[in-house]
Amino acid sequence: MRFDGKRALKVALVTSSYNYIADGVALTLNRLVGYLETQGVQVLVFTPTADEPAFAYQGTIVPVPSIPLPGRPEYRLALGMAGTVKRQLLDFAPDIIHIGVPDLLGHAALALAHKHGIAAVASYHTRYETYLRHYWYLAPFEKPLTGMLRRFYGGCREIYVPSDSTRDALLADGLRDNFKPWPRGVDTALFTPHKRSQAWRARHGIDSDTPVILHVSRLVREKRLDTLTAVLSQIAVPHVSVIVGDGPDRDIVARALPNAIFTGFLSGEDLATAYASCDIFVFPSDSESFGNVTLEAMASGLPTVCADATGSRSLVVSGQTGFLAPANDPQAFARHLTALAQDGALRRRMGDAARARSLTFSWEETLARMLGYYRALLPGASTT
């Protein structure tokens, strides 16, 4: 399909997570669509939907048949790409098909792109293969899944990865090096230390002096809730634990941490206030490809203690903006958290450094980079 410069660039975004749950994949892709439309790009989003969107989404959606994902009903399983959906996509005549998730829908989109000579690209959001090891009945499928991902991503023109550490991990798994960097940004006007609120602390029964250790995530076991609960239950120095988020494993965390404060899911100003009103951020997940919540915490002026794994490894400068520790080593996490809880000057120094580092992650720059990638794939585009 030719792009002659006299009409708008057309992008079909095909993804199984877009507007029914406010996870990192959905929020990132919504931000991308919103930006592209401001730049005159025509975008059509092919995705499963729910009766009630989780948030005000961007762009125009073509619903794709789906069912609740077995065992994880908060997600939806797209049932491939029906004939009517294929026809709508082809009638749209996209220059590029951007695939967000390598599931049945993603595979159908890739096959369609190959058949009709459309440039197919994909963005890498989550280390799905690492999820399986946290569910004993799925663990044997980790190796076959890695092989499937190797074939799927190898069939795309380009793969947009959010961090160097993720690229390194994918190369180590034998994937073809068709990667382009696509780091995430952060809204440093929304997430800022200036949102710190003594009223917020008082409302939750927290005084002005006790260090508050914060965790933000969906409460599912692949976020390494085993390490999180082991860590927070063994810290001996005075502190308060705050858990922001919800999910199917919330009860497990609540039983293990009966004294923790659970706020449920927060967004916008409420989330920004929660970050800034706490003192230390902890995130032991080793399944991230980037770690949006870690960057939001850094922008809020919090030192972070995170897993020495993909995502966090590209954000946290250990010993400067926070600390890294093995995801399966609660004692190492506890040592770092205890040091920060006991030393206010250390918290302030690392928090200031974390804020400064967050300012280098610009949404405007990273979204403009994506548009540049798209344009470079068009017939006749300069390769210089």
Residues 177-198, mean pLDDT to the nearest whole number? 96
DSSP state of 351: H
Radius of gyration of the chain (CA): 21
> What are phi and psi for residue 142, nearest 5 degrees?
-60, -45
* pLDDT at site 310: 86
* pLDDT at site 133: 56
* pLDDT at site 21: 87
* pLDDT at site 142: 65
With a cut of 70, say whether residue 271 has pLDDT above it.
Answer: yes
With a cut of 50, say whether residue 178 has pLDDT above it.
Answer: yes
Distance between CA atoms of residues 54 and 377, nearest Å: 33
* pLDDT at site 3: 44
DSSP state of 291: -
**Tens digit of pLDDT for each residue in 11-52?**
999 999 999 988 888 999 999 999 999 999 999 999 999 888
Residues 80-85, mean pLDDT to the nearest whole number? 92
Residue 144's pLDDT band, with cuts at 50, 70 and 90, is low
With a cut of 90, say whether residue 362 has pLDDT above it.
Answer: yes
Position with higher pLDDT, 162 vs 305: 305
User: 333-345: b or e for each residue (b if 16 or more CB lie within 10 Å)?
Assistant: bbbbbbbbbeeee
Residues 239-258, mean pLDDT to the nearest whole number? 96
**Structure token digits, residue 234:** 């063994």
* pLDDT at site 141: 54
* pLDDT at site 379: 85
Q: What share of the chain is helix, strand, coil (3-state, %, to 5)?
A: 40, 20, 40
How does DSSP assign 51-116, residue by residue? Answer: SS-SS---SEEEE--EEEETTEEEEEEE----HHHHHHHHHH--SEEEE---SHHHHHHHHHHHHH
State the chain's mean pLDDT as an integer: 91
Q: Closest by alpha carbon to 158, among 118, 115, 123?
A: 123
Q: Which amino acid is at 39?
A: Q
Residue 139's pLDDT band, with cuts at 50, 70 and 90, is low
User: What is the distance of C-alpha 276 from the center of its chain?
Assistant: 20
Pairing of strands 72-78, 66-69: antiparallel
Alpha helices, DSSP H only, in 93-243?
A: 104-116, 128-131, 142-154, 164-172, 198-203, 225-234
* pLDDT at site 129: 56
Task: List Cβ neighbours of 265 (8 Å cut-off, separation of 6 or more).
Answer: 22, 244, 245, 246
Residues 307-314, mean pLDDT to the nearest whole number? 90
User: What is the distance of C-alpha 287 from the center of its chain?
Assistant: 10
Q: Is 212 strand, coil or helix?
A: strand
Least confident stretch, 3-7, 84-88, 339-343, 358-362: 3-7
With a cut of 90, say whether residue 89 has pLDDT above it.
Answer: yes
With a cut of 50, say whether residue 97 has pLDDT above it.
Answer: yes
* pLDDT at site 72: 78
Distance between CA atoms of residues 218 and 215, nearest Å: 10
* pLDDT at site 1: 38
Task: List Cβ neighbours of 363 (8 Å cut-off, separation of 6 or more).
Answer: 31, 35, 184, 185, 186, 187
Domains and CATH numbers, the chain: 10-185+362-376 (3.40.50.2000), 193-358 (3.40.50.2000)
Residues 302-314, mean pLDDT to the nearest whole number? 93
pTM: 0.84
> What are phi and psi for residue 287, nearest 5 degrees?
-110, 10
Tally Cβ neighbours within 10 Å of residue 63: 12
Distance between CA atoms of residues 191 and 203, nearest Å: 20
* pLDDT at site 111: 97
Distance between CA atoms of residues 121 and 42, nearest Å: 17
* pLDDT at site 22: 85
Distance between CA atoms of residues 265 and 275, nearest Å: 13
How does DSSP assign 15-28, residue by residue? Answer: -S-SSSS--HHHHH
* pLDDT at site 2: 40
Residues 341-351, mean pLDDT to the nearest whole number? 98
* pLDDT at site 165: 85
* pLDDT at site 59: 96
Residues 120-124, mean pLDDT to the nearest whole number? 95
With a cut of 70, say whether residue 127 has pLDDT above it.
Answer: no
With a cut of 90, say whether residue 382 has pLDDT above it.
Answer: no
Q: Is 46 strand, coil or helix?
A: strand
Distance between CA atoms of residues 291 and 126, nearest Å: 10
With a cut of 50, say whether residue 136 has pLDDT above it.
Answer: no
Q: What share of the chain has pLDDT > 90, as a percent?
A: 75
Residues 146-163, mean pLDDT to the nearest whole number? 91
**Structure token digits, residue 240:** 């308060």
Q: Closest by alpha carbon to 113, among 132, 94, 92?
A: 94
The answer to whether the CB of 273 falls within 8 A of the CB of 243 is no
